[in-house]
């Protein structure tokens, strides 16, 4: 037992052990279907226990939709899929008021018919294919965990997790997500191609008639308890300051801005970026059998937490400079500690 663990109440240490066991079981169940992509799976589960939403980006056929469906099967939560298309309307997502007739009295009245957003695990498939008007219907649900129809606010059940997918290469007939909506996503994860061994395993699993069965291992109460546990993890002031300076280093013209930021970035990360950095780091600390956040926990969360919260300028686009490249340089140039005056 480390010195920091010795200061943690025994019941909290037990909760941390149970959390790690549950996380491992979830990872195991998802891995029955999803081959490889271990980092993507872990980051998605981290978002789940941070209470955040996930944007999965990758070319078609890499298993983004399958990952979401498999995760939903491993959770005792209601699952809904929304296939985004150019003709999808906001009412198709949140629901609408319809006239219903009482069979006994014959009286007619408006009744709200709930849309597919009233689930707990929501797959927003190809979200960038819908028009901005329809995309905006997701904003209130993602941020406030509620929807408004006919002047009435309807609360969504907790926990509530949106996992959206988008294709980065086929841009014809798509509508890029506005910055305000991108900022609502806790992580943006880039799904890579499978390697040789992973493709062999995929073939063995999908062309031999064997269908793996995923078991539900966690319910809503367990997820909410895990979210509360993660938020109680300690963060030292100097570690928190490191996360703050990393975010400030993405603001062009700011006190801590890196040279690459001033040259290639138009707008830096919002405060939600540092919130995501610290919350994700807390979950990583528990998974690493610690009850305090380290510098490495912050570093591991930097790219998924901030890559969608930066807007690069035209010069960066012309030279092929991505937000990932900017963030890696920012991380390299930002000292972990600063001398006090």
Domains of the chain: 10-85+118-130+156-207+215-232 (3.40.50.300), 233-341 (1.10.8.80)
Q: Is the pLDDT of residue 241 over 80?
A: yes
Please, where are the H alpha helices in 107-171?
132-144
Q: Is the pLDDT of residue 339 over 70?
A: no
* Lowest-confidence region among 48-52, 205-209, 221-225, 236-240: 205-209
Higher pLDDT, 122 or 101: 122
Reduced to 3 states, what is the DSSP secondary structure of residue 320? coil
Task: List residues bridging with 163 in a β-sheet.
Answer: 54, 123
Q: Is the pLDDT of residue 93 over 70?
A: yes
CA nearest 20: which of 287, 234, 227? 287
Query: What's residue 50's pLDDT?
Result: 93
Higher pLDDT, 226 or 7: 226
Q: Is the pLDDT of residue 4 over 70?
A: no
Q: Is the pLDDT of residue 244 over 70?
A: yes
CA 334 to chain centre: 25
- Kindly indicate the confidence band of residue 130, based on its pLDDT and cuts at 50, 70 and 90: confident
> Within a 10 A sphere around the Cβ of 176, how many other Cβ atoms?
12
CA nearest 70: which of 176, 252, 277, 216? 216
Task: List residues bridging with 153 in a β-sheet.
Answer: 148
- Kindly indicate the confidence band of residue 341, based on its pLDDT and cuts at 50, 70 and 90: very low
Query: What's residue 322's pLDDT?
Result: 92
Task: List residues bridging with 152 in a β-sheet.
Answer: 149
Structural element, H or E, at residue 180: helix 179-182
* Lowest-confidence region among 13-17, 102-106, 160-164: 102-106
* Lowest-confidence region among 46-50, 107-111, 124-128, 262-266: 107-111
* Cβ atoms of residues 330 and 258 within 8 Å: yes
* Cα 322 to Cα 103: distance, rounded to the nearest angstrom: 61
* Lowest-confidence region among 24-33, 209-218, 268-277: 209-218
Angle at CA of residue 317, ends 272 and 138, nearest 5°:
40
- Nearest 5°: phi and psi at 271? -60, -25
Instruction: Give the pTM.
Output: 0.88
Helix 271-287 / helix 295-306 crossing angle, nearest 10 deg = 130
* Cβ atoms of residues 163 and 184 within 8 Å: no
């Amino acid at each position: 037992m480390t010195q920091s663990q010795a200061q943690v109440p025994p019941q909290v240490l037990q909760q941390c052990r149970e959390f790690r066991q549950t996380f491992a079981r979830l990872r195991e169940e998802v891995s029955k279907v999803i081959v490889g992509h271990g980092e993507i799976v872990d980051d998605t589960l981290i978002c789940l226990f941070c209470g955040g939403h996930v944007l999965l980006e990758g070319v078609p056929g890499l298993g983004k939709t399958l990952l979401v469906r498999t995760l939903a099967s491993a959770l005792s939560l209601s699952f809904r899929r929304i296939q985004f298309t150019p003709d999808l309307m906001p009412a198709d997502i949140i629901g609408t008021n319809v006239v219903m007739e009482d069979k006994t009295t014959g009286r007619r009245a408006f009744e709200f018919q709930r849309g597919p957003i009233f689930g707990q695990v929501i797959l927003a498939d190809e979200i960038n294919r819908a028009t901005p008007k329809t995309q905006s219907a997701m904003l209130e649900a993602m941020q406030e965990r509620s929807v408004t129809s006919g002047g009435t606010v309807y609360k969504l059940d907790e926990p509530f997790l949106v996992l959206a997918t988008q294709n980065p290469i086929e841009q014809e007939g798509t509508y890029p997500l506005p910055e305000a909506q991108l900022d609502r996503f806790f992580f943006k994860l880039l799904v890579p191609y499978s390697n040789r061994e992973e493709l062999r395993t995929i073939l063995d699993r999908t062309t031999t008639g064997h269908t793996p069965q995923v078991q539900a291992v966690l319910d809503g109460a367990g997820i909410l308890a895990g979210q509360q546990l993660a938020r109680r993890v300690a963060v030292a002031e100097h570690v928190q300051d490191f996360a703050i300076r990393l975010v400030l280093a993405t603001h062009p013209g700011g006190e801590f801005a890196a040279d690459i930021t001033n040259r290639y970035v138009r707008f830096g990360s919002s405060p939600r970026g540092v919130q995501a950095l610290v919350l994700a780091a807390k979950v990583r600390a528990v998974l690493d059998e610690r009850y305090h956040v380290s510098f490495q926990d912050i570093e591991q969360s930097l790219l998924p937490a901030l890559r969608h919260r930066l807007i690069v300028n035209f010069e960066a686009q012309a030279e092929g400079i991505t937000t990932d490249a900017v963030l890696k340089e920012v991380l390299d140039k930002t000292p972990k500690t600063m001398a006090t005056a």
